[in-house]
Amino acid sequence: MNTRTDIPSAWDERATLETLLDYVRATVHAKCEGLSEENARRALLPSSPLTTISGLVSHLRWVEYSWIQVRLLGEEEHAPWTEEDPDREMRIALEIPLSRLLAEYEEQCARYRELLAPLSLDTVAKEPLRDGTRVTLRWILHHLVEETARHNGHIDILREMLDGVTGD
């Protein structure tokens, strides 16, 4: 895993975006450090029974897959969700050890760093959004920073509710 820092090695847009994305990715791991398997799978929100820390880690892994491999690179989709079960990535996470979910997420992030390195931020996604818009790699990276940071907030709150652990 990369060192957890939000200070880029250079101040250009690309370095800043990649550093911030790696920072929020590493924060997922930091928030899960020392968490028991039982607590990782516990749902604390009556209105959101699929919102578990394991489910959120799985969700983040599959969100990156969807945006990078499917939308940007145009690969055939093999995500776990279906029309009948659009939240399946959250559900299946309850059967997978947290350590495996985190390892798969980190392996995937390392692979994406390599895949995206030669691409320009202006690279246009091969697959359009529902409305026909074709986003750029720049937009996808910004979106992944936002999505991962938002879910880190969820993980942070769940962690504090589960065992009192707080921190950055």
d(CA 80, CA 94): 13
d(CA 62, CA 30): 19
In 3-state terms the chain splits into helix, strand, coil percentages (rounded to 5) of: 60, 0, 40
DSSP symbol at 76:
P
Instruction: Give the pLDDT confidence of 36-67 residue by residue, as tens digits.
Output: 999 999 999 999 999 999 999 999 999 999 99
pTM of structure? 0.94
Please report which confidence band the pLDDT of residue 99 belongs to, taking 50, 70 and 90 as the band edges.
very high
Instruction: Give the pLDDT confidence of 133-142 residue by residue, as tens digits.
Output: 999 999 999 9
Please report which confidence band the pLDDT of residue 1 belongs to, taking 50, 70 and 90 as the band edges.
low
Of residues 135, 132, 121, 153, the one with CA closest to residue 27: 153
d(CA 102, CA 125): 27
- Rg for the chain (alpha carbons), in Å? 16
Q: What is the mean pLDDT of the chain?
A: 95
User: pLDDT > 70: what percent of the chain?
Assistant: 98
Please report which confidence band the pLDDT of residue 5 belongs to, taking 50, 70 and 90 as the band edges.
confident
